[in-house]
Every structure is written in C-alpha cells, then in structure tokens.
Structure 1
Amino acid sequence: MGASGHPNEPRTEKFYPDAGASLSIKLSSSRPVITLCFNRRTLIETLDTTTPCLGIRFKAAGAHSLLGLLPEAFADTYHRVDNELEELSLQKLRLQGLMPVVERLYQLDSQQGLRLLETWLLDRLKSQLPTTSRITTIVQAIGELQLPPQQLGTTLGFTRRTLERKLKREVGVTPGQLVAYARLNRARHGLLATTLPLAEIALQCGYYDQAHFTHAFQSLAYETPAAYRKRKLSQIYKA
C-alpha cells in the first residue's frame, strides 16, 4: 500500500504490468473517487499531486483470492466505482464496507489511513472461505522463472487447458504473459542494479538474444532497454 501527499508539481509515472491489480482512493474535496485498475500493459499516467490519494497494490491473483474480483472486469483501464451506483457496484465487486472506511480517511493522516485500510483488508480476509493456494504457488514460481508454466501446472495436477483457464479467470492473463512480465521485471532490475551489457542481461532473463530482448522489452515498456537504463539512472543521479 502507498500514499501520496501534496508535492508541488505533478509528475508522470509508468506503471509496468506484473499481473497485479490496484485499488486507489482519491480524497477529493467534493467526494471520494475509488478506482480499480488491472494493467496488462504499461500505463503512462500524469499523477494529480494536489489531491491526497491512498492506494493498495495487490499481487497477482490477490484481488481475486481476497476480494473475489475478476481482473478481466477492470482490465487496461481505470474502473471507477460511481457513487450513483455505489451500493450495486460495491456489492458486485465485493467491496462491502469500503465506503464507511473511506469516509473516515478524511480525518486521518496518511499513515493512519493506511493502517485503517490494512485493518479492512484483514477483516475481508477473515470473512473469506479457505481457497486453494495452487494458483498462487504457480504464479510465484513463474515469477521466479524456474520452470515452464505447463510443467508447473502438471506438478500440481492441472492440465494445460485447465491451467490456462484458471489463470485467465483468477489472474487475468495467460501463462505466456506471466512469463513475459517476470522477464521484464528481472530485466528492469538488472538494467539498474548492474552494469552488465544488454546481451548478458538478455540471456540471464531468458531471452534468445539481445535483439529478442530489445523487441520484447520495448513492446511492454514502450522504450528500449538502453533508453530505460539511461532514463532511470539519470533520475537517480538527479535525486
């Protein structure tokens, strides 16, 4: 979870896909604005830093297992919980009890607000029936790039078709997309944490060669690995 206060200037951020979902609460002066987003692609957003905002980031399958949300229902866009349809929307999205919590956030500072949201989430967790952790195990293993998804699924008793269907429903993406996100995440870390050449990072992340790395990285991150490294390092040095 995270919070933003009142910085002087707006800033543009990239939100990279990792099969996770976001729940954000903007505490505007007129009424709170609650949005859900599951980004299967990189989103480029200019953040409104004049309005306090609290956010929750769910790991892959977290929004489904904890709140029963189907990622496909709010994929690649910001789904706004409209106040006019508040009761229906909250019930449909299984977010009961959230609005009273949101109203209390106006009287709290950011850290207190995060603790309140955390308590709400823990209460939701207690109210859920125990569910299988096999999908979560598969998602975590895919993220570590240990074995092909199909092999992992077989180990846990899933046929290829069943694995693809369950991942699509509960995580919102295919096994191949999960692998692509995991490689992107590992590559981003390698580009910033090391001075290794691109060809070596490509091999460490499971790409065939540097050309494959550059194409795959750019298709997801909307910039080449070299441009990403240069941009991020310049931001670090400026800070």
Structure 2
Amino acid sequence: MVDPMTDLILPSNANYLNFQHRLPDKRLAPWVQCLWSIGGTGRLAEPRTEKFYPDAGASLSIRLTSSHPIITFCFNRHTLIETLDTTAPCLGIRFKAAGAHCLLGLLPEAFTDTHHRLDNELEPLSLQTSSLQRPRLQGLKPVVERLYQLDSQQGLRLLETWLLHRLESQPPSDSRITTIVQAIGELQLPPQQLGATLGFTRRTLERKLKREVGVTPGQLVAYSRLNRARHGLLETTLPLAEIALQCGYYDQAHFTHAFQSLAYETPAAYRKRKLSQIYKA
C-alpha cells in the first residue's frame, strides 16, 4: 500500500537536475522524508520548472552559490511551481508534516508559502532577534560552511548528522501529533476518531494541527488523497473512476474537482503530462 506521506515521486527531469536523495537514519524517519541534492553541474542551461505538491511537509534548502550560501525554508501548503537552476549545487532536507516543528521547533505560522530566507538569521544565539531563531538551529552555520568542501553525498550525510545531534540534544516531547499525522496519511480512520484514541477532543486536535502542522485535519486528508491518487495515476492503468474510489473520493466528478483544485490540472491531464515526460526521458 502506498504511504502518501513518505513515498517519493521523483521530478520528471531528475536526470537533468542531477537529483540525488538519501533516506534518513531510522531514528529520524518519523519526521524526515529524505535528504536531497540537485545541481552542481556547472553547466549553463535553460532553467526548467517543476511542480511541488502540498503535503503539509516542509523544506530546508541550502544553495551553495559562489559568493555566499542562500538558505531558505518553506512549509508546503499549496502547489508551488518553481524554476530550478542547476548551475550551483543545492542541498536540502524534506520534512514530513510536523517534522520541522518536532525537530527544529519551527512553527508554520511564522512562515509564508513562499521560501523564507534564513541565511541572515544564523548568528550566535546571543545576537538573535527573530522569532524564527531557535536553539535547535544552532550548529547549522558551520555545517553550511563545510558543505562547500564536500561532494553531494558527503554533504547529505553531514546534514543528517546535524539533525541527529538536534534530536539527541532536544528530543521531541510529544509524539502523539506525529502518530496522528501518519495515521491520517494512511486514510484509515477519520481524523477526529484518531484524535480521540490519543486523548484529543475535536477542537484540541484542530488547534494543535493548525499550530504545529499549519493545516486542518481536513486539509491533511485532502493532501493524502492527492498523493495517493498521483501514485495511482502514474503506477497503474486503472480508470479514473476506480482510482477515485480507492482514494476515498465519492465519484469521478468529486475526484476531478478535488484534484484540480489542489494540483491546478485535472487527473487526466496530470497522467498524460507525466507519462509523456517519462517516455521522453
């Protein structure tokens, strides 16, 4: 069974992007989807665009330009269409929903849906003024400086080590929200029923998810259905009506409307576009 909160659908132009990824150490697996890198080819080529679909996760990206590193952070709550440049290497951490809060203490309310710059906010703790600067970001600045001397795989291992240090120094105090997010991703029970099993009232669950994940329980369900549908459209030849039922939509019309509202294209158009890219690769 596909777990839409953890399975990867690689970019259609992964080879062009020099895309590489590393699955996290099992101690980080509840909160981290993968560590990744792109670019570093040094070639001047036409920039390409790629869609990034909402799943309530978050991305920490470190672009190693020749003059200075550019560090950005983004919570993924809407489909983003981004132009990707391969001339300079870029490394990053892809957090699952609630992962950035549990490991780094970052709250979605402090960020917009576009990439938020962090490179000027990694000074010593005594000099920090921004609400984004938490003790768990300590140690990132020297890690970023070392990335310039490493290849992509070495860099990903270094980022993983930094996360493990953060986990050891300040382990998450409450694992219930992670458990609920994972269970919602599996689409087995309604969120309120899941919350009740762990001692949350409906209102408490909604408030806690909104604060730590940045979305409502209903949005998490919608994102999980979208990701499961994307896998079904690419990995099977099932008709749309059958995929709709397997993913929890009422019927094909409901599926088409819900998919288009999040992905900005119909399921049929998504399948045609992605499959044509695969065949051309």
**Is 1:118 paired with 2:187?**
no
**Is 1:63 paired with 2:105?**
no
Letter paired with 2:36: G
* TM-score of the superposed pair, with normalisation by structure 1: 0.96
Q: Is the 8 A contact 2:184 2:191 kept in 1?
A: yes
Q: Is the 8 A contact 1:69 1:93 kept in 2?
A: no
Alignment of 1:1-239 (within 5 A): 1-5=35-39, 6=41, 8-83=45-120, 85-87=121-123, 88=128, 89=130, 91-92=133-134, 94-239=136-281
1:86–1:129 distance in 2 versus 1, CA, 3 Å: closer
Letter paired with 2:142: P
For 2:260 and 2:187, the matched residues in 1 are separated by 20
SS in 1 for 2:221: helix
- Count of matched residue positions in the alignment of Structure 1 and Structure 2: 238
| Of 158-167 and 7-16, the range deviating more from structure 2 | 7-16
1:230–1:93 distance in 2 versus 1, CA, 3 Å: farther
Q: Which structure features the higher share of helix residues?
A: 1
Q: Is the 8 A contact 1:40 1:75 kept in 2?
A: no
- What's the CA shift for 1:82? 4.3
- What's the CA shift for 1:27? 0.3
SS in 1 for 2:143: helix
For 1:129 and 1:39, the matched residues in 2 are separated by 24
For 1:40 and 1:115, the matched residues in 2 are separated by 27
* TM-score of the superposed pair, with normalisation by structure 2: 0.82
Letter paired with 2:258: A
For 1:234 and 1:34, the matched residues in 2 are separated by 34
> Which structure 1 residue ranges, 4+ long, deviate > 4 Å from structure 2?
none
For 1:130 and 1:79, the matched residues in 2 are separated by 24
Letter paired with 2:221: V
1:223–1:107 distance in 2 versus 1, CA, 3 Å: same
Letter paired with 2:137: L
For 1:189 and 1:93, the matched residues in 2 are separated by 38
Letter paired with 2:52: F
- What's the CA shift for 1:96? 1.2
1:93–1:42 distance in 2 versus 1, CA, 3 Å: farther
Consecutive unaligned residues of structure 2, counting only runs of 5 or more, are 1-34
Q: Percent identity?
A: 87
Residue by residue over 1:17-59, the C-alpha shift from the partner in whole angstroms, topping out at 9 and shown as x without a partner, is: 1111000000011100000000211000010111110011001
Please provide the CA RMSD for this pair: 1.4
For 2:76 and 2:135, the matched residues in 1 are separated by 17
1:135–1:123 distance in 2 versus 1, CA, 3 Å: same
- What's the CA shift for 1:142? 0.5
